[in-house]
Each structure stands twice: as C-alpha cells, then as structure tokens.
C-alpha cells in the first residue's frame, strides 16, 4: 500500500501543469554612445525607446533599430512618455523636472522638484504624474499638459525608489530603506497605507501585474504581493543587483535584470498559484534596467563591458569606452 501511494503521488506530480518554460535570447545588439544610464521606457504611440544618459537621452526606433539623440534631453533617471500628449517627463539628480517634446526633442519647460527626483508614474484617472523625490521622501505632482507642478505630498521619511500605477487611481512606490511599498491615492493626493515586504531588503524595481505587485529586492528575492491587501503570494529567488521589474501583460511574464550577477531572470506569472522562475539569461554585469515593447514582447536592456582595471569610488568597475550597447531580448 505504501509503494502504491508513492506511485500515485508521483504520477499526480508529473501530471500537474507546470509553468511554461521560457526561451528568451539576445536577438540583437544596438550600438549606442557611451554614457551612464538608469531607467528605460517604451512609447507605444511613436514606437520609441527612451533611455536617459545624463547629458542627453538616447532614442531607439524599435521597428528599424535606428538610434538618435535628444541633446536637450538631459536627465539622470527617467524619460516618461505621458499619454495623450507629445511630451516626456525627465528627472535630473540636481532637482530639476524637465518637460520635453518627444517629437522634436526640444525643451517645453523646466520645473523644480526636490532632492534627487528619481522616477515617476502617470495616473490616467487624474491625468497627473507623480515624480518621486528619492532623497526628500516626497512626490512632486505634475500636470504635464499644463506644464505645471500642482502639488507636493510626503511619502516617507526614508529613501524612495521606483513607483507604478494600477491605472485605477492608485500609485505604489518602493521605500528602499525600510523594505515597504507606499500606497498613494492619486485623487486624495496622500499615502493611504503601507505594505510591509517581509524578508525584502532594499527594494528597487516594481511592476504592477493584474492586481499583483512584483518588487525586486536587493537580497536576492522578488516579492509578489496582492495590491489590495498586501498579502504575499510568492517569493522567487533572483540574482543580485536588480533595479527594475518589467512586466509583459500579453505573455504574463515578468523580467528582473540583475546587474551585479549580469543575468535577466524570467518569472512566469500566468497562474498566481504557480508563480516561478523559469529562465535565467546571461546578459552583462551592470545590466540592471530595461523596458519592453508589449506588441513584440522584445526587451531593451542597456549593457556595457566592465573595466576591471579601473574602479569607481562606489567600488564598482568603470565601464570600457566604446562598449555601450542595448541588448534586444526576445521570446
């Protein structure tokens, strides 16, 4: 009887549906100018990828692979396309929030943020953009169409990281130093609660996936929690040095580029009861952010070669001149 029970259990285990195995690979490498990078975004109306590089913004036509530069697009963190407008919201470490015409690349207006405006999320309900001031613990609220900053709200006395919107009036923002997610009601313009990410250190990247939040943690895990009540759904092992989570709603896959280990972790999200890591693709050391063209499912991940002979003050290797490129990763 004991042997029969074991055999039955084994057959049942084999017959249970498993997450589909992924087969992502690097399908192209696009040469870009040298320069630091942070977040990347994709604009479905133009088919362009935007990557701020510090003194300029790199623009890639996803269809042709052609590379151009917005010389007025000085930004350190993000160039966020704002729906139903022709503008980008750019954030600069020095405290400036720049509004840039995404067609001409010309400056529309410069606004004042606070300490180190980092990333931003657009709320389609209020049609406002919430720019997270990383080192101030506040959010500057921008009306992009009017070209004005229309408010400021306290988020946390701690360091802020990446925010996402659920499309229904709520903004979620990682709090890096406490391992939490602040929940902001865009209509009320205030933090209404905080989600504690148990076992998560220094969360950075964040994505919203059909009622779930995926947060990339600095201690080698991705935490998946319900956006509604904050309860944990899954804890998935990932590489070290993540700084983004990219979600593909069409294929129900999440991607975490991990810069320290130089890998892209692929997480199957189709069945909330069977969320799992299904692939780890080798990229480059330092490749920690990216974006996706949801139509094709192709990801665009910045990469460069480390120069181990020259170390930066932060202990990381400098980058080899002439080695900067964008990895195009496809299913």
**How confident is the model over 298-309, as a mean pLDDT?**
92
Which one, of 126, 129, 162, lies nearest residue 40 by Cα? 162
The pLDDT of residue 8 is above 80: no
What mean pLDDT do residues 265-273 have? 96
Counting residues of the chain whose pLDDT is more than 70, the rounded percentage is 93
Q: How confident is the model at residue 318 (pLDDT cuts 50, 70, 90)?
A: confident
pLDDT of residue 307: 84
Strand partners, 99: 89, 109
Q: What is the pTM of this model?
A: 0.91
Q: What is the pLDDT of residue 20?
A: 52
Average pLDDT over residues 15-26: 64
Question: Please, are residues 331 and 23 in contact by the beta-carbon 8 Å criterion?
Answer: yes
d(CA 276, CA 267): 5
State the residue for tokens 């990895």: 327
pLDDT band at 7 (very low <50, low <70, confident <90, very high): very low
Residue 246 and residue 290 in contact, taking contact as beta carbons nearer than 8 Å: yes
Let me know if 76 is exposed, middle or buried by CB neighbors in 10 A (0-12, 13-18, 19+): buried
Identify whether the C-beta of residue 326 lies closer than 8 Å to the C-beta of residue 311. Answer: no
pLDDT band at 311 (very low <50, low <70, confident <90, very high): confident
Q: Domains of the chain (ranges plus CATH)?
A: 38-295 (2.130.10.10)
**What would the mean pLDDT of 155-174 be, rounded to a whole number?**
97
């Amino acid at each position: 009887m004991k042997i029969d029970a074991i055999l039955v259990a084994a057959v049942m285990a084999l017959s249970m549906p498993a997450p589909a195995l992924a087969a992502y690979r690097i399908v192209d490498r696009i040469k870009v100018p040298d320069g630091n990078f942070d977040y990347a975004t994709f604009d479905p109306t133009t088919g362009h990828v935007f990557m701020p590089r510090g003194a300029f913004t790199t623009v890639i036509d996803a269809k042709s692979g052609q590379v151009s530069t917005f010389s007025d697009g000085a930004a350190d963190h993000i160039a966020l396309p704002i729906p139903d407008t022709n503008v980008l919201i750019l954030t600069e470490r020095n405290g400036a929030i720049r509004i840039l015409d995404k067609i001409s690349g010309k400056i529309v207006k410069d606004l004042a943020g606070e300490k180190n405006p980092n990333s931003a999320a657009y709320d389609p309900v209020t049609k406002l953009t919430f720019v997270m001031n990383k080192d101030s613990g506040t959010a500057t609220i921008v009306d992009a169409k009017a070209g004005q900053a229309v408010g400021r709200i306290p988020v946390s006395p701690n360091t802020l990281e990446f925010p996402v919107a659920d499309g229904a009036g709520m903004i979620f923002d990682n709090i890096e130093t406490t391992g939490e997610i602040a929940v902001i009601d865009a209509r009320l313009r205030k933090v209404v609660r905080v989600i504690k990410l148990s076992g998560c250190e220094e969360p950075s990247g964040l994505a919203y996936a059909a009622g779930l939040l995926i947060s990339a943690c600095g201690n080698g895990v991705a935490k998946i929690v319900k956006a509604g009540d904050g309860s944990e759904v899954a804890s998935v092992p990932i590489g070290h040095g993540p700084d983004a989570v990219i979600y593909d709603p069409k294929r129900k896959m999440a991607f975490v580029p991990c810069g320290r280990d130089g890998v892209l972790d692929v997480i199957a999200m189709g069945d909330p009861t069977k969320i799992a890591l299904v692939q780890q693709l080798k990229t480059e050391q330092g490749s920690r952010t990216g974006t996706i063209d949801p139509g094709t499912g192709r990801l665009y991940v910045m990469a460069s070669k480390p120069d181990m002979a020259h170390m930066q003050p932060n202990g990381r290797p400098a980058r080899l001149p002439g080695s900067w490129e964008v990895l195009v990763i496809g299913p």
